[in-house]
Amino acid sequence: MRRKLTHVRAEGQERQLQHRLERRFGRRLVALSEQVILLLIFLVIGMFMETVAIILILTPIFHPVAVGAGIDPVLVGVVVTTQVAIGSATPPFGCDIFTAIAIFRRPYLDIIRGTPPFIIILLVAAVIAVPTFQALRLGAVEFLSKPVTVKQLTTAVLRLTGHSEPRM
């Protein structure tokens, strides 16, 4: 009984802290910080564990947390996949590094010297992908929630491709 009360008390304190942060910084900033924490956790763990093991072990743990925080489950999947891929190519124990050593028969340090540009590119892509994915998702939901005629769809496609009017 006492254990249950302390659990409820801790849960209440966590909610109070989250509400104070939301009032002070806004819900979007709190959600963004939760996404950054998720990014960092999977990146760091990806440096030390194999990709499939990470996904099988940690996704059931972090999925309910992310959904409870208001993060889209599909976005969680995209983030987990990209961060695990980046982590597997990052020193010191990235699985991709050891695969490259075996394939190219080069020393560890030679392989490591070539990874920073790729890791930087992947990290920039991951940082850009999160807000882009959310914007695309919201745009798709807004677009798909309205009925669209064939003529409207054709006109939109022609405008995107540089043509002005449909030829009918």
Q: Give the model confidence (pLDDT) of 80-133 as tens digits.
A: 888 888 888 888 888 888 888 999 999 999 988 888 888 888 888 877 777 676
| Residue 65 neighbours by CB under 8 Å, 6+ apart | none
Backbone dihedral region of 105: left (phi > 0), alpha (psi from -120 to 50 degrees) or beta? left
Residue 135: in which H helix or E strand, if any? Answer: helix 116-144
Give mean pLDDT, residues 50-70. Answer: 84
Model confidence, pTM: 0.58
**Residue 3: pLDDT over 60:** no
What is the reported pLDDT for 78?
A: 80
Whether residue 92 is preceded by a cis peptide bond, meaning omega within 30 degrees of 0, is yes
pLDDT at 90: 85
pLDDT at 136: 67
Task: Give the pLDDT score at 19.
Answer: 65
> pLDDT at position 14, please?
65
44 near 83, Cβ under 8 Å? no
